[in-house]
Structure 1
């Protein structure tokens, strides 16, 4: 029984992992506050989560900052492009809605483009965190991997939507728990699934 609570025991390891996820969540939230840094924060969080799985994270804070600096430029380009697209869609919503529902062809074409965009976005930040590729190559790989591993893609999508949106809105009594663990748990949980996909192609450098 004493071994259960030792530094090599199961309880200690789980509590340490929980502490790391809380710390990851805190750094992620703080890094997202300037808004413009959200892309880099997501990439850094995934990069740190991948290291945690390999038990090579070292100091969580230093690892997060290192990944943030390394992928700042590419991640910010992706995020600002997405933000610009969202603003454009919001401003032009009446026109876009009219075009979208003008015919079945335009509707299905719009849904297809939306699906492709979501699939790319789902994989792009983790790919930037895991592999050192050009942004254009990473975007193409994101689409190909998301389609090739569609069951995993659906699972990751449900995890992100459930943990990021459904949980805090439908379980408001647990909002404080979500605030301390939500983002970190979603990123770490989805990184476990991404690792199953990525390990076929490469390993962490």
Structure 2
């Protein structure tokens, strides 16, 4: 009977799956204080983007390195989203009986918040920039790549949708997201983001080349 090599596709798949599970568990545990969520999301996407590019080997080490290097600016970014998101959530919960046009405006702001949130932490993970420019670039990329933005935002909203749907759906989704849901969401999003960021890098290189001429 033929022996299976450690380079067999099955073992490679199981190894990759194990890495994504480790990444997810690290993300869940380090996100429990809530205030650390900006740092952990940036670290999650830094590792996920590196894995999609084939540049990641040691998930845990790279994750904690990203946490140490990105905590300051990522926390500042997270606080902006936390405060603005809290205000929007209050408006959504308690503004149902308001004037219809005002409700529409709140809906537009929620969509803009969600689109910007989808790109902000991956951008923080991939590029060095100020918080202001990161937010501005996030909104720009969101509308420039609207089909991908809608797909990624829908994936990001799954936990919130499960919570809103009730206790049964929340309890059903919880084991999935505690084991691999967040990291696999980051993986799928990173497949979109890698192509988007690569185009952005090429565009910047072309602009620099034209300026040099």
TM class, shorter-chain normalised?
0.7 to 0.9
| Secondary structure of 2:25's aligned partner | helix
Which residues in structure 2 correspond to 1:1-205 (within 5 Å)? Answer: 2=2, 5-89=4-88, 97=95, 101-104=98-101, 106-162=102-158, 165-166=161-162, 170=169, 172=171, 175-202=174-201
Deviation of the 1:113 alpha carbon: 2.0
- Report if aligned partners of 2:42, 2:121 keep a CA contact under 8 Å in 1: yes
| Secondary structure of 1:200's aligned partner | helix
Q: State TM-score, norm by structure 1.
A: 0.84
Deviation of the 1:40 alpha carbon: 0.5
Question: 2:128 and 2:65 mapped to 1: Cα distance?
Answer: 14
Partner of 2:208: none
Q: Unaligned stretches of 5+ in structure 2?
A: 203-213
- Report if aligned partners of 2:23, 2:44 keep a CA contact under 8 Å in 1: yes
Q: Unaligned stretches of 5+ in structure 1?
A: none
Question: 1:174 and 1:126 mapped to 2: Cα distance?
Answer: 24
| Secondary structure of 1:55's aligned partner | coil
Deviation of the 1:118 alpha carbon: 1.4
Aligned length: 199
Cα deviations by residue, 1:4-52 (Å, 9 ceiling, x for unpaired): x423221111111100100000110111011110110001000001111
Deviation of the 1:125 alpha carbon: 0.5
Q: State TM-score, norm by structure 2.
A: 0.81
RMSD over equivalenced CA pairs, Å? 2.8
Question: 1:178 and 1:121 mapped to 2: Cα distance?
Answer: 19
Question: 2:69 and 2:24 mapped to 1: Cα distance?
Answer: 19
